Amino acid sequence: MLILASASPRRSELLTQAGFSFEVHPAHIPEEPLENEDPISYVTRLAREKAEAVFRELTAAHGREDGRSLVVLGADTTVTLDEHILGKPEDAADAARMLRLLSGRTHRVITGVALVTAERVEVAAEVTEVRFLEMSDAEIAAYVATGEPMDKAGAYAIQGRAARWIPRIEGCYFNVVGLPLARVSTLLESCGL
Protein backbone atom coordinates (compact mmCIF):
# COMPACT_ATOMS: atom_id res chain seq x y z
CA MET A 1 0.00 0.00 0.00
CA LEU A 2 1.37 3.40 -1.04
CA ILE A 3 1.17 6.21 1.52
CA LEU A 4 1.91 9.83 0.64
CA ALA A 5 3.49 11.52 3.66
CA SER A 6 2.33 14.98 2.58
CA ALA A 7 -0.75 17.16 2.94
CA SER A 8 0.05 18.94 -0.33
CA PRO A 9 -2.94 18.87 -2.67
CA ARG A 10 -0.56 19.40 -5.59
CA ARG A 11 1.40 16.23 -4.77
CA SER A 12 -1.84 14.27 -4.44
CA GLU A 13 -3.04 15.57 -7.79
CA LEU A 14 0.24 14.66 -9.49
CA LEU A 15 0.32 11.12 -8.08
CA THR A 16 -3.29 10.63 -9.16
CA GLN A 17 -2.48 12.02 -12.61
CA ALA A 18 0.33 9.46 -12.91
CA GLY A 19 -2.14 6.64 -12.14
CA PHE A 20 -1.06 5.66 -8.63
CA SER A 21 -3.48 4.57 -5.91
CA PHE A 22 -2.49 5.86 -2.48
CA GLU A 23 -3.61 7.18 0.86
CA VAL A 24 -2.54 10.48 2.38
CA HIS A 25 -1.00 10.55 5.84
CA PRO A 26 0.85 13.83 6.42
CA ALA A 27 4.02 13.95 8.45
CA HIS A 28 4.48 16.58 11.12
CA ILE A 29 8.17 17.30 11.56
CA PRO A 30 10.21 20.50 12.00
CA GLU A 31 11.25 21.86 8.59
CA GLU A 32 14.10 24.18 9.50
CA PRO A 33 17.44 23.80 7.69
CA LEU A 34 20.40 22.74 9.80
CA GLU A 35 23.34 25.08 10.16
CA ASN A 36 25.42 25.11 6.94
CA GLU A 37 23.11 22.53 5.32
CA ASP A 38 23.16 22.75 1.52
CA PRO A 39 19.78 22.83 -0.28
CA ILE A 40 19.94 19.27 -1.70
CA SER A 41 20.88 17.80 1.67
CA TYR A 42 18.09 19.84 3.26
CA VAL A 43 15.26 18.61 1.00
CA THR A 44 16.43 14.99 0.90
CA ARG A 45 16.76 14.93 4.70
CA LEU A 46 13.25 16.34 5.15
CA ALA A 47 11.77 13.93 2.59
CA ARG A 48 13.43 10.99 4.39
CA GLU A 49 12.40 12.20 7.85
CA LYS A 50 8.78 12.65 6.72
CA ALA A 51 8.59 9.19 5.16
CA GLU A 52 10.32 7.50 8.11
CA ALA A 53 8.07 9.26 10.65
CA VAL A 54 4.90 8.14 8.86
CA PHE A 55 6.25 4.61 8.35
CA ARG A 56 7.02 4.33 12.09
CA GLU A 57 3.64 5.78 13.06
CA LEU A 58 1.66 3.44 10.80
CA THR A 59 3.59 0.30 11.72
CA ALA A 60 3.25 1.13 15.43
CA ALA A 61 -0.49 1.60 15.00
CA HIS A 62 -1.11 -1.42 12.79
CA GLY A 63 1.61 -3.88 13.73
CA ARG A 64 4.78 -5.13 12.11
CA GLU A 65 3.07 -7.45 9.64
CA ASP A 66 1.19 -4.56 8.04
CA GLY A 67 4.49 -2.69 7.80
CA ARG A 68 5.80 -5.22 5.30
CA SER A 69 3.31 -4.05 2.68
CA LEU A 70 3.79 -0.32 3.34
CA VAL A 71 5.54 1.98 0.91
CA VAL A 72 5.76 5.53 2.22
CA LEU A 73 6.64 8.41 -0.09
CA GLY A 74 7.99 11.61 1.43
CA ALA A 75 8.84 14.78 -0.49
CA ASP A 76 10.03 18.29 0.18
CA THR A 77 10.51 21.15 -2.28
CA THR A 78 12.51 24.31 -1.89
CA VAL A 79 13.54 27.24 -4.03
CA THR A 80 17.16 28.38 -3.99
CA LEU A 81 18.77 31.54 -5.24
CA ASP A 82 22.54 31.86 -4.98
CA GLU A 83 22.48 28.77 -2.70
CA HIS A 84 20.12 30.52 -0.25
CA ILE A 85 16.98 28.57 0.62
CA LEU A 86 13.71 30.40 0.04
CA GLY A 87 11.07 28.45 1.94
CA LYS A 88 7.40 29.30 2.37
CA PRO A 89 6.82 32.98 3.13
CA GLU A 90 5.98 33.95 6.70
CA ASP A 91 3.62 36.72 5.63
CA ALA A 92 2.74 38.98 2.68
CA ALA A 93 5.82 41.19 3.18
CA ASP A 94 8.08 38.12 3.13
CA ALA A 95 6.36 36.85 -0.04
CA ALA A 96 6.95 40.22 -1.73
CA ARG A 97 10.60 40.17 -0.62
CA MET A 98 11.11 36.72 -2.18
CA LEU A 99 9.42 37.69 -5.43
CA ARG A 100 11.63 40.81 -5.69
CA LEU A 101 14.67 38.54 -5.28
CA LEU A 102 13.46 36.17 -8.03
CA SER A 103 12.41 38.94 -10.43
CA GLY A 104 14.52 38.98 -13.60
CA ARG A 105 16.70 36.07 -12.47
CA THR A 106 17.08 32.32 -12.82
CA HIS A 107 16.72 30.21 -9.68
CA ARG A 108 16.65 26.52 -8.85
CA VAL A 109 13.78 24.44 -7.56
CA ILE A 110 14.91 21.31 -5.73
CA THR A 111 12.65 18.50 -4.62
CA GLY A 112 13.90 15.71 -2.41
CA VAL A 113 11.96 12.45 -2.50
CA ALA A 114 12.27 9.45 -0.22
CA LEU A 115 10.71 6.01 -0.37
CA VAL A 116 10.61 4.00 2.86
CA THR A 117 9.66 0.32 3.07
CA ALA A 118 10.37 -2.37 5.65
CA GLU A 119 13.42 -3.40 3.63
CA ARG A 120 14.94 -0.15 2.43
CA VAL A 121 15.11 3.62 2.24
CA GLU A 122 15.74 5.28 -1.11
CA VAL A 123 16.41 9.00 -1.46
CA ALA A 124 16.78 11.15 -4.58
CA ALA A 125 16.68 14.79 -5.61
CA GLU A 126 15.54 16.58 -8.74
CA VAL A 127 16.75 20.06 -9.76
CA THR A 128 15.01 22.39 -12.23
CA GLU A 129 16.14 25.86 -13.26
CA VAL A 130 13.38 28.46 -13.55
CA ARG A 131 13.72 31.83 -15.30
CA PHE A 132 11.59 34.72 -14.05
CA LEU A 133 10.83 37.86 -16.03
CA GLU A 134 11.16 41.25 -14.37
CA MET A 135 8.16 41.93 -12.13
CA SER A 136 7.10 45.45 -11.22
CA ASP A 137 6.30 46.34 -7.62
CA ALA A 138 2.64 46.68 -8.66
CA GLU A 139 2.66 43.18 -10.20
CA ILE A 140 4.26 41.73 -7.08
CA ALA A 141 1.74 43.45 -4.81
CA ALA A 142 -1.20 42.28 -6.94
CA TYR A 143 0.11 38.71 -7.02
CA VAL A 144 0.70 38.62 -3.26
CA ALA A 145 -2.82 40.00 -2.72
CA THR A 146 -4.26 36.89 -4.45
CA GLY A 147 -2.96 34.77 -1.55
CA GLU A 148 -1.46 32.24 -3.97
CA PRO A 149 2.17 32.74 -2.82
CA MET A 150 1.48 32.09 0.86
CA ASP A 151 1.91 28.31 1.09
CA LYS A 152 4.50 27.94 -1.67
CA ALA A 153 8.26 27.59 -1.51
CA GLY A 154 9.73 30.71 -3.09
CA ALA A 155 6.32 32.43 -2.86
CA TYR A 156 4.95 31.34 -6.24
CA ALA A 157 3.05 28.58 -8.01
CA ILE A 158 4.19 27.82 -11.57
CA GLN A 159 0.85 26.12 -12.25
CA GLY A 160 -1.02 29.26 -11.14
CA ARG A 161 -0.89 32.96 -11.87
CA ALA A 162 2.92 33.12 -11.67
CA ALA A 163 3.13 31.23 -14.99
CA ARG A 164 2.83 34.58 -16.76
CA TRP A 165 6.32 35.58 -15.54
CA ILE A 166 8.08 32.28 -16.33
CA PRO A 167 9.27 32.17 -19.95
CA ARG A 168 11.38 29.02 -19.60
CA ILE A 169 12.50 26.24 -17.36
CA GLU A 170 15.28 23.70 -17.73
CA GLY A 171 14.33 20.38 -16.22
CA CYS A 172 11.18 18.74 -14.93
CA TYR A 173 8.07 20.94 -14.84
CA PHE A 174 6.38 18.64 -12.30
CA ASN A 175 9.35 19.12 -9.99
CA VAL A 176 8.52 22.83 -9.83
CA VAL A 177 4.89 21.97 -9.00
CA GLY A 178 6.19 19.81 -6.13
CA LEU A 179 6.77 16.20 -7.24
CA PRO A 180 9.13 15.04 -10.02
CA LEU A 181 6.82 12.41 -11.50
CA ALA A 182 9.31 10.54 -13.69
CA ARG A 183 11.80 10.13 -10.84
CA VAL A 184 9.07 9.16 -8.36
CA SER A 185 7.56 6.68 -10.83
CA THR A 186 10.95 5.01 -11.30
CA LEU A 187 11.38 4.69 -7.52
CA LEU A 188 7.87 3.30 -7.07
CA GLU A 189 8.27 0.82 -9.91
CA SER A 190 11.44 -0.47 -8.24
CA CYS A 191 9.19 -1.35 -5.28
CA GLY A 192 6.73 -3.19 -7.49
CA LEU A 193 4.10 -0.42 -7.67
- What does DSSP say about strands 84-86 and 71-81: parallel, antiparallel, or unpaired? antiparallel
State the pLDDT at residue 111.
Answer: 97
C-alpha 171/C-alpha 185 separation (Å) is 16
State the pLDDT at residue 191.
Answer: 81
Let me know the angle formed at the C-alpha of 57 by 53 and 59, rounded to the nearest 5 degrees. Answer: 120
State the pLDDT at residue 63.
Answer: 65
What are the residue ranges spanned by the domains of the chain? 2-190
Q: pLDDT in tens for each of the 193 residues of the chain? A: 899 999 999 999 999 999 999 999 999 999 889 999 999 999 999 999 999 999 999 998 876 555 578 999 999 999 999 989 998 999 999 999 999 999 999 999 999 999 999 999 999 999 999 999 999 999 999 999 999 999 899 999 999 999 999 999 999 999 999 999 999 999 999 887 7
C-alpha 145/C-alpha 161 separation (Å) is 12
State the pLDDT at residue 83.
Answer: 85
Provide the annotated active-site residues: 76
How far is it between the farthest Cα atoms of the chain? 57
CATH class of the domain at 2-190:
alpha beta
State the pLDDT at residue 75.
Answer: 97
State the pLDDT at residue 31.
Answer: 87
Q: Which residues contact 128 (CB under 8 A, 6 or more apart)?
A: 108, 109, 110, 169, 170, 171, 172, 173, 175, 176
According to the 3-state scheme, what is the secondary structure of 16-28? HHCCCCCEECCCC
State the pLDDT at residue 113.
Answer: 98
